[in-house]
Amino acid sequence: MGHIINLTTYKDSRGILTVLDRVVDFEIKRLFYIYAVDDSDRGGHRHHNTYQAAICIKGSCKITNNDGHKTEIFDLDTPEKCLILEPNDWHVMHSFTEDAILLVLASTAFDPKDYIYEPYENTL
C-alpha cells in the first residue's frame, strides 16, 4: 500500500534544503514531472513492475490510491512529503493547484506493457 515518507529537511535563514538520500528502495530508471494541469485527473492505472515515489515540489495535489483492499487519499501539500507507490497501487492524481509541480521517480523505464488500466472493483 502507498505510504508517506517525511523527507529530511534543513531550514535556516538562507532557505530550505530537502534531501532524497537513500529514501527509495529501488534504482531510479525514470524521472518525470507533471505541471500546468487543469481540473483533469492524471494516472488512473497501476503497474506490473514499477515502483514510484511522488513529491509535489511546488503547490499541492492529492493522490487517491487503492491496493485492491483499501482506498486512501494522500495530500501532497509540501515538498517534504514523498509518497511511495507500489506496483499494485492503482492511483489517480487530482486536485492540482494552479502552480503544482509533481515530481515522480520510477523504478523502470517507460513500457506501455507495464500499465494496468482496469481499476479494482472497490476503487472510488
Residue 80 pLDDT: 98
Residue 71 pLDDT: 95
CA angle 111, 116, 119 (to 5 degrees): 155
Residue 123 has pLDDT above 60, yes or no: no
Q: What number is the average pLDDT over the span 94-99? A: 98
Question: Kind and range of the H or E element at 28?
Answer: none
Residue 124 has pLDDT above 80, yes or no: no
Q: What number is the average pLDDT over the span 77-105? A: 98
Q: 74 near 63, Cβ under 8 Å?
A: yes
pLDDT digits over 51-78, tens only? Answer: 999 999 999 999 999 999 999 999 999 9
**Three-class DSSP category at 13:** coil
pLDDT digits over 8-55, tens only? Answer: 999 999 999 999 999 999 999 999 999 999 999 999 999 999 999 999
Residue 122 pLDDT: 62
Q: What is 52-109 written as a DSSP string?
A: EEEEEEES-EEEEEE-SS-EEEEEE-STTEEEEE-TT-EEEEE---TT-EEEEEESS-
